[in-house]
Amino acid sequence: MAGKPLIITCAVIGAEVNKEIYPYFPETTDALADAAADAAAAGASIIHLHVRDIDGNPTQDVATFKEVTEKIRERNKDVIIQYTTGGAAGTPLKLRCEPLTLRPEMATLSMGTLNFGPEIFENTEHIIKTIAADEVKYGVMPELEIFDYGMMEAVPKYVKKGWIPAKHHIDFVLGVPGGMSGTIHNLNMLVNMLPEGQTWCVAGVGRFQLPLTAHAIAMGGHVRVGLEDNMYFTKGVHAKSNAEFVARVARIALEMDRPVATPAETREILGL
């Protein structure tokens, strides 16, 4: 896989982290835009975006997504912005879909319900079909979020039924309590289920982030890093920023002869 450009996605913020457990948490619109721009400068070509309200709580508010998107664009015109449609566990379906009206280039589509730690992250067939239909309506490319083996098995069935688009990107999110653990064995098993030519990346949660990142690079896949998935740069030591994670991936990729993909190259690879 030497020479194949590597797509780096940065998940700059999630729905679970807060300043009580992570001191460098970017929650204001300006802080989020700065974090995204810094990650892009370090090599990320896709920014996976959650946003927060004025009190620092997760929100799917369209105006906030619009404001953060515009501020990211002021800092970086080229980076691909990928919206979450998951929000936080328990977010009503209507609110999960509303940011899609802004027509981002990409957005997530979680492929099944799971116990997300102590909470239930609900993604019934109705929810999946509804979000997928809105992504098609607004011309948004889905990134299918796969947390477990059964979700991967469902993908070709849903494509055949016309419930989800045949053209999509896949993200294996491994290490979430309630989903598949982040072992290399599990990643290999999931990748072996992919059809020829399917693009994919892996997001390793917590301690799984670094080993899965290195393995995905060697396999010819792509990677997602960032504070949504992992707060620690090394054991017990907080990362100072999202850009710190991205820069490390770029260094590893260089050593493994995988040039970091630019946003233009990423659009070509994914067919955006």
Task: Using alpha carbons, list the distances in angstroms from residue 102 to 48, 52, 80, 271.
Answer: 15, 17, 14, 20
Domain extent listing, the chain: 8-266
Chain Cα centroid distance, residue 137 = 21
pLDDT of residue 117: 76
Distance of alpha carbon 168 from alpha carbon 17, whole angstroms: 28
Q: What is the pLDDT of residues 56-111, one digit of tens each?
A: 889 999 999 999 999 999 999 999 999 999 988 889 999 999 999 999 999 999 99
pTM of the model: 0.96
To the question of domain 8-266 being in CATH 3.40.50.1820, the answer is no
Structure tokens at 266: 């990423």
Element (H or E) spanning 210, and its range? helix 209-219
The per-residue pLDDT for 84 is: 97
One-letter amino acid at 190 equals L
- Please give the average per-residue pLDDT across 199-215, as a whole number: 97
Q: Is the pLDDT of residue 116 over 70?
A: yes
Closest CA to 271 of 200, 184, 169, 191: 169
* 164: alpha, beta or left? (left if phi > 0; alpha if psi -120 to 50): beta
3-state secondary structure of 87: coil
What's the sign of the alpha-carbon dihedral 122, 126, 130, 136? Answer: positive
Q: Could you read off the pLDDT of 46-58 as tens digits, one per residue?
A: 999 999 999 888 9
Q: Report the largest interatomic distance among the alpha carbons of the chain, rounded to a whole angstrom.
A: 47
How confident is the model at residue 126, as a pLDDT? 97
